[in-house]
Structure 1
Amino acid sequence: MSKALSHKSNLQVLYEDNHIIIVNKRAGDIVQGDKTGDKPLSNVVKEYIKDKYNKPGNVYLGVVHRLDRPTTGIVLFSKTSKALPRLNKLFAEKKAKKTYWALVKNIPPKASERLVHWLKKNPKNNKSTAYNKEVEGSKKAILTYKLIKKLDNFYLLEINLETGRHHQIRCQLSKIGCPIKGDLKYGFDRSNKDASISLHAKRLEFVHPVKKESLSITAPLPKNTLWQACEV
């Protein structure tokens, strides 16, 4: 998987201006540094900016949100200290619309549905459990999904988040009997060859924190046969 990881030379930039930069994350990239010590995507973006603009010294970059390591798709960073708190506020107030695509093996109970669960995170195994009713230490999790395409052996779902909980999409889809392809942690029977899971942050819609213009950014799907069959 390491061969596919982002490097400043292969970074897929979807949008960039003076205040923000949006990239298409590869499976295996971590957005911020963690206990593994692996080089995070945030450092790759800093190197890209430093080289592109011949910046001396340290490059400022603010992490606005994250994606799980095995997922792919849109990640937004702030290039200025002016934009970061505005973006943080935008996300906190749920004014950024995030749309995901997921491949699942089992057909969902309904063609479209709004799922409401209570998620409780276990830090020991870095996994969340979904409950139908509130339990101690749980947080309310809401998403909507719709079935948008049937493939030979899988179903393509489009998901919109109303809340942002730990492993929310993975956990909630597993709860209704639809674990995401490759997601061993949440009940899929085998891993993907590249250790990814078939969850892609497809689109991000928000108002630019400085220019006040509406932006809608779409991330191309991973270049493998199954994902490419999902183009609709």
Structure 2
Amino acid sequence: HETGAYLIEAFNDKLMAHTAVVISPLGMITKSSAFARSELIFVCNKMTGEPVAGVTLRLIQQRKEQAVVITDKNGLAYFEKKPVNPSEIEEEYGSSSLILGQKGNDFVLSDPYYYYAGEERQYVVHAYTDRPIYRPGQMVYFKSIVRRLTEAGYQIYGNSDVEIKVTDARGNEIYRQTLKSWQRNRRWEVISLRPRFRVASRIMPHLKLKNTKSRSTKSK
């Protein structure tokens, strides 16, 4: 296939889906600073690993072009990001960014999902269960650790309200409660599964931090 950016569509009488596909010898690696205030980009040939100079890179935020840079002889370029006014952030797009690169007919995209958490992640949540699979009537033990990213690094998110919702593998809610986070590791919380609970189902904890726009989950 010729290099370029392509749109693939699949549809029938009632449904339609589409996705973008880029065929290119170019590869991109991005590195964001703390709070994603700046970004270092390296563009190379995916087959040889050699740096590629002269690639035009465009930084897109909120569907708008914010900056344009060109890679140097080492394949490097640097973006200094402008702060985004929270009142102007569209919920559908968040404050995440996308980098588009082009040299001639060759294109390259930064993965919009790869560092999305780096854009919005002010909080990190680790949720633990005592086992991966449960059967009807069993007791579920779980606990969570919430940390907040600050200028000085991560800090414990203590003495604050955290809404906890637990669902099974089908998305059915089996537990919801608002608990107070502690400065130290919290004790294990307990859920008693119903006798008709789906056999061998996984438990998925979801945590929402009160008075913030952050909603995080990370199950182990």
How high is the TM-score relative to the length of structure 2?
Answer: 0.25
Q: Which has the higher contact order (CA 8 A, sep 6+)?
A: 1
Per residue, is there more helix in 1 or in 2? 1
Q: Which has more strand, going by share of residues?
A: 2
